[in-house]
Chain A
Amino acid sequence: EPAPVPRAGWAPTRPPALTVESGGRRRCVTPAQQPGTGGVSLQRYCSCPARTMRGSGSGAGSLRLLLSLAALWLSDANEPGTAMTTRDINQQTRKSISDYTVKEHDLSTPGSHLTTQDFNQQTEENISNLTSAVYSISINGFSSAPVEENVILYSPANIALSCNLTSPSTDSATVNVTWKKDNETLRSSSVTFNETKHVWSTQYMLKIRDRNQMGNYTCVFKRDQEVKATFHLQVPQIEGKEHHVVSYVGDSVVLVCKSIKYIPISWIWYMSNGSDQVAVNDSLMPDKYTVDEKYANITKLKILKISEEDDRSYWCQAVFKLGESKGKVSLKVLTYMTPLKPFLAIAAEVIILVAIIFLYEMYSKKKQMHAEDEKEFEQIEQLKSEDSNGVENSTTRHRKV
């Protein structure tokens, strides 16, 4: 395979601190990492007197270019795997650009065509301002429970995950630290390890570029016991609605999903069909589903002419640069009969009460009239008897009240 031609303006940076010569190949080791610490080591090849990456056409730049070309050719001459060489060089130059390094799982994967991609990434690094952040967990003692932390990542960034173990014991045994990603041990030169009195700290530097770097990263401290802390790197979670949305047959409903702090690239709606999820295609059925995306961080799915089949769960999926996440909204469809039944029950009870009260009123009025009729009758009778008995018998006329 032909040796890749470096692009103009490309030159490796940062001279290595020391150079070890062995077997005709120059091996450079950057000061940050010493071989043999913490079980992490990396073999690298370097082209030595490199400084900046950005130079384009300066004199020093062209000298570096020549030297790197020479190194390339030299390694080409000795090494069977051109691809590997290139990659390693790229790797190293990438490393020498920035302070952080990317861990590759192993160096044996062929990747000759990675060159362009690497270049792209590299130029991308040059252009964009990537955020850097440090996330740390402190562990107290070897007997503490495993600690977990959720790290929300929205866009590519350079991050450092750091674990600090404080153990007051005076045991002088050495502490081994390992980093794992999703239960696979990482071997990387991007790990630092510090040991002071009773405090062991380790830091793992990561470049987050796409979804492959997301996952669970665990740092494990081991002496006689083992203690670990886990960072869950994930995309922002979308909250659907915990409670179902109620709607009626023939009506229309709007299902809303929001992503408050982070703006997704796009949204996709799914509906559940049995046990799997089917995408909701609003262009296929425009009079049934409409997706409103007026604002980028809110999506609204409007469902028209609801029928009983629409009683299912809907998922809104937010697509981010580093992955996707889903929120669930479930729809419950009722017919008008459902609330009508309690209403009719209450209405019936009301009618019964009205009838009872009405009848009671009629009854009491009748009783009153009856009593009054009786009283009048009695009075008339009394008057008649008094008249017949004579005037002297008439005393005060009682008006019965």
Chain B
Amino acid sequence: EPTATKEEQQPIPPPDGGWGWMIVLHFFLVNMLVMGMLKTFGIFFVVLQEEVGGSSEQISWIGSIMSSLRFSAGPLVTIACGKLGDQLTSIIGAGLVSSGCLISTQATSISFLCVSMGLLLGLGFACLYQAAAVMTARYFKKRLALSNAIARSGMGLTFILAPFTQLLIDFYGWQGTLLIFGGIMLNLVPSSMLLRPINTKNLQDFSGRNVHSGSLTQSKPPATLTSHLDEISTTETQVNNRLENAAGLESPVPCRQPLLDFSLLKDPFFCIFAWSFLFSQLAYFIPTFHLAARAKTLGIDSMDASYLISVAGIIEAVSQLLSGWIADQNWIKKYHYHKTYLILCGITNLLGPLATSFPLLMVYTVSFAIFCGGYLALLLPVLVDLVGVPRLHSSLGFASFFAGIAAIAGPPIAGWLYDYTQTYAYSFFFAGTCYLIAPISFFFEPSVHKWKLRKEEELNKVST
């Protein structure tokens, strides 16, 4: 239960509820609106081609910039959050998104739209997404997976946005639609104000240097290395605060957390996560992009194909919730679930080309949605397990940066595969292979764990 604090600087354990649900609400809205905007870009694509002109390649640049910048701007957002705080960064993000929409209504050329719609929206999305994700991780510990899944289920509602967008375009034209979207995105400003800062100055970065402050003599054998780390950091700060109160002085925080922790790039835990994240992102876009096209080549009409896509969306959302709940029960470590889902995703995709009729394609879609939802819900909790909350911003920033590269590379690779082989089967093979490569890094986790423990013991022996 959250304990009320006298000053905000008193470290409190994550609430796992209470005000945390407001954070989840905000994250839910972010997911719904951000992913909704990204997914409905396809509708804008058609309209823009007719009205503004320009080749389809030029217009698809807008979408690419938008979706890749949403990931790649991660490190930038990390710095912003470090300097300005999560709440302010999120508000700025919401402001960027709505002003991007509003400016785009005045667009007269594709390059204008690339900047106003691609750049501004991409940056805004990145700010919103990362701030919300980290705040969720701060507010939830035991129920992180479930709350993350609840928030992500907002993506499942995006299928409502597509016909809504089409309706708006028919009524107001694309400029009017963007104007109204700008207003809708403005709603993220009050919801960003819900991101009340918590423990912002307390949890310090645990680096190897803090070990010899002596707090390792504290009792309790830790369950995992990171809970150990958390313990150390919290007791560390408790010690500091007691010192503060005793001395009546404000002693400076011993270790300043660097804004962008490049040492993370050498951290094997981060590397494990980044490897798996990169390949799963590379693979993720391909089936979703090519599902409709493959349905068409198999002779399924577009009404049934869109039905397929909406079914996939709903099942993915439900599966995320289930997977989050299961993971929170803590029967086994979360990354085992993550591994399993990734492997099953890979197998489903490798068997995908066997689906040659509508019922078989439906089976493929349903199973892919189940496993995909499963691993997506666990991305954030697994990262928190591996790296810890203090360094979450930096690690999320870097991981997103690499994911952004994959997001840019994925669809063109798939398209090239199709052009080269003239069949969509190879795209599915590629996706399946990437999904099978992704969990390989997790098999190294136990050995890395042991290596780290050994390293700590050595440092302990050195210090004592």
A interface residues with partner B (beta carbon < 8 Å): 243, 246-248, 253-254, 256, 334, 338-340, 342-343, 345-347, 349-350, 353-354, 356-358, 361, 372, 375, 401
Residue of B nearest to A399 (CB): B6
CB of A342 within 8 A of CB of B183, answer yes
Q: Is the CB of A334 within 8 A of B5?
A: no
Q: How far is the CB of A292 from chain B (nearest CB, A)?
A: 12
Nearest CB of chain A from residue B100's CB, rounded to whole Å: 15
Interface pair A361/B6, CB less than 8 Å apart: no
**A246, A247, A248, A361 — which one has the most chain B CB atoms within 10 A of its CB?**
A246
| Contact of A357 with B193 in the complex, beta carbons under 8 Å | yes
A343 pairs with B180, CB closer than 8 A: yes
Residue B4 CB within 8 A of the other chain: yes
Q: In the bound complex, what is the Cα–Cα distance between A337 and B51 (angstroms)?
A: 21
Which residues of chain B are within 8 angstroms of A254 by Cβ–Cβ distance? 51
User: Would you list which residues of chain B between 154 and 187 have a CB under 8 Å from chain A?
Assistant: 169-173, 175-177, 179-180, 182-184, 186-187
Contact A339 B176 (CB under 8 A): yes
- Pair B186/A246 contact, Cβ less than 8 Å: no
In the assembled complex, the CB of B319 is this many whole angstroms from the nearest CB of chain A, namely 32
Closest chain A CB from B293 CB (angstroms): 22
Closest CB pairs A-B (n = 4): A339-B176, A346-B183, A246-B173, A353-B190
A131: min CB distance to chain B, Å: 31
CB B183 to nearest CB in A, in angstroms, measures: 3
Give chain B residues whose Cβ lies under 8 Å from the Cβ of A401. 3-6
Bound complex: CA A51 to CA B212 (Å): 117
B66 sits at the interface (CB 8 A): no
What chain B residues lie within 8 Å of A334 (beta carbons)?
172-173, 176
Task: With CB as the reference atom, state the residue of chain B lying closest to A241.
Answer: B50
**Are A343 and B171 in contact, with the CB atoms below 8 A?**
no
Which label, helix, strand, loop or mixed, suits the secondary structure of the A interface? helix
**Given A246-B172, A372-B6, A401-B4, do A340 and B190 touch, yes or no (CB 8 Å)?**
no
Determine which of A248, A342, A350 lies in contact with B190 in the assembled complex, contact meaning CB atoms within 8 Å.
A350
Is B259 positioned at the interface, with any CB of A under 8 Å from its CB? no
What is the CA–CA distance of A45 and B243 in the complex, to the nearest angstrom?
A: 128
Chain B hits for A354, CB < 8 A: 189-190, 193
- Cα of A375 to Cα of B51 in the assembled complex, Å: 66
In the assembly, what is the distance between CA of A348 and CA of B171, in Å? Answer: 22
Considering the chains assembled together, what is the distance between the CA atoms of A210 and B6 in angstroms? 95
Q: Which residue of A lies closest to B171 (CB)?
A: A246
Give the number of residues in B that approach A within 8 Å (Cβ atoms). 26
- B194 within 8 Å of A by Cβ? yes
CA distance A256 to B171 in the complex (A): 19
Partner of A247, one of B4, B173, B179, B196: B173
Given contacts A248-B175, A339-B172, contact A353 B6 (CB under 8 A): no
Q: Which residues of A contact B182 (CB under 8 A)?
A: 343
Q: Which residues of B contact A347 (CB under 8 A)?
A: 183, 186
Nearest opposing residue in chain A for B182, CB measure: A343
Tell whether, in the assembled complex, residue B186 and residue A350 are in contact, meaning their CB atoms are under 8 Å apart: yes
Residues in chain B near residue A375, CB distance under 8 A: 6
The distance from the CB of A306 to the nearest CB of chain B, in whole angstroms, is: 12
How many Å from the CB of A342 to the closest CB on chain B?
5
Q: Which residues of B are found within 8 Å of A361, using beta-carbon distances?
A: 193, 196
State in angstroms the CA–CA spacing of A361 and B187 once bound together. 18
Q: Mark B17-46, 1 if CB is under 8 A from A, else 0.
A: 000000000000000000000000000000
What chain B residues lie within 8 Å of A256 (beta carbons)?
50
Q: In angstroms, how far is the closest chain B Cβ from the Cβ of A243?
A: 6
**A253 CA to B194 CA in the complex, in Å?**
44
Alpha-carbon distance A137/B6, docked complex (angstroms): 91
- Chain B residues within 8 Å of A342, by CB: 180, 183
Q: Which residues of A contact B6 (CB under 8 A)?
A: 372, 375, 401
B6-24 at interface with A (beta carbon < 8 Å): 6
Q: Which residues of A contact B170 (CB under 8 A)?
A: 243, 246
Residue of A nearest to B187 (CB): A350
> In the complex, which residues of chain B have a beta carbon less than 8 angstroms from the beta carbon of A339?
172, 175-177, 179-180
Shortest Cβ distance from B176 into A: residue: A339
Rounded to whole angstroms, the CA-CA distance of A350 and B186 in the bound complex is 7
B329 to chain A, nearest CB (A): 31
List A contacts of B4 (CB < 8 A).
401
18 sample A-B contacts, Cβ–Cβ < 8 Å, listed by A number: A246-B171, A246-B176, A248-B173, A248-B175, A338-B176, A339-B175, A339-B177, A343-B179, A343-B180, A345-B183, A346-B183, A346-B187, A350-B190, A353-B190, A354-B193, A357-B190, A357-B194, A401-B6
- Contact code string B202-232 (vs A, CB < 8 Å = 1, else 0): 0000000000000000000000000000000
Which residues of the other chain, B, contact A346 by a CB distance below 8 angstroms?
180, 183-184, 186-187
| Inter-subunit contact B172/A340 (CB<8 Å) | no
Across the interface, name the chain A residue whose C-beta is closest to B7: A372
What is the bound-complex CA distance between A177 and B353, given in angstroms? 55
Chain B, residue nearest A346 (CB)? B183
User: Which residues of A have CB within 8 Å of B175?
Assistant: 248, 339
**In the complex, given contacts A339-B176, A343-B179, A350-B187, what are 13 additional A-B residue pairs having Cβ atoms less than 8 angstroms apart?**
A253-B51, A334-B172, A339-B172, A339-B177, A345-B183, A349-B187, A350-B183, A356-B190, A357-B193, A358-B193, A361-B193, A361-B196, A401-B6
Chain B residues with CB under 8 Å of A343's CB are: 179-180, 182-183
Closest to A358 in B: B193
CB distance from A304 to the nearest CB of B (A): 14
Cβ–Cβ contact A338 & B5, under 8 A: no
CA distance A166 to B171 in the complex (A): 53
Q: Give Cα distance in the complex from A361 to B195, angstroms.
A: 11
Q: Which residues of B have CB within 8 Å of A349?
A: 187
In the bound assembly, the distance between CA atoms of A387 and B171 in angstroms comes to 78
- Interface pair B173/A350, CB less than 8 Å apart: no
| Chain B residues in 8 Å Cβ range of A247 | 173
Q: How far, in Å, is A219 (CB) from chain B's closest CB? A: 35
* B51 CB contacts on chain A under 8 angstroms: 253-254
Nearest neighbor of B5 in chain A, beta-carbon distance: A401
A338-B172 contact given A346-B180, A361-B193, CB 8 Å threshold: yes
